[in-house]
Amino acid sequence: MKLKLLLLTSICLLLSTAKIFAQDGDTTKKFNDYVITLKNDTVKCHIGRRFLGKLTYKVDGVRGTKPFDADSVKGFYRSEDSSFFVSKRLPETGHLFFVRPLEQGKINLYERRSGGTSLHDGNIEGNGTSFFWYVSKNNDSLKFIKIGTVEGIYFGSSRKSREKIFMDLIADNPALLDKYKEERKTTNYNFELIQFYVKLYNDGFLENHKVAK
């Protein structure tokens, strides 16, 4: 009985070792992803994940994978779905988190997802996923402006206060702000409206603050 148990244990160890070496020497992996290190080095790699959603990356020719999170890298790109994420400090918690850039210009617009059961940007999401949107102006710190679930008080901020933050950001283009206020009379404060006016602002800024047509 002891001999059978010993043999079974040995076989399991051999299979586990073979699996590890097979993963390290897997020539089917595509090394078309990359991570940006804290030293601003771009490392070409294959990005995967461990059990419970921990992100990892593997460099071609280097044994083993290396875990990473928003504290250890500045950003990463996945070729599988052409997604890019950057590490930013959230205003409501002060913690670093991966967010997805949606618009870039004088005003940058970012999205964060949280909750649920499947992997996205290194975080867990699924049917219960919540969406959060942030902006930064002139590469300043993030400002929280919208939550995708039912609007209300969140970390001490109300929908009205979040919208005021957004309006203040575009206030140096008076024509655009007037246009926004007029449209808000018939349109809800939603993500599509925010993204549209961020685009207008960025285009208008490049044209001496004229509202883009």
Q: 99-140: per-residue pLDDT in tens?
A: 999 999 999 999 998 764 434 445 444 445 778 999 999 989
More confident call, 141 vs 2:
141
Contacts by residues 84-88 (CB-CB < 8 Å, ≥ 24 positions apart) = 85/121, 85/122, 86/110, 88/134, 88/136, 88/142
pLDDT of residue 208: 53
| Residue 35 · residue 86 · CB < 8 Å | no
Report yes or no on whether pTM surpasses 0.85: no
Position with higher pLDDT, 204 vs 89: 89
* In the predicted structure, residue 14 carries a pLDDT above the cut 50: no
How far is residue 51 from each of residues 1, 62, 118, 189, measured CA to CA in Å? 34, 21, 11, 38
Name residue, tokens 């083993």: 64
pLDDT digits (tens, 9 = 90+) for 137-158: 998 999 999 887 555 555 556 8
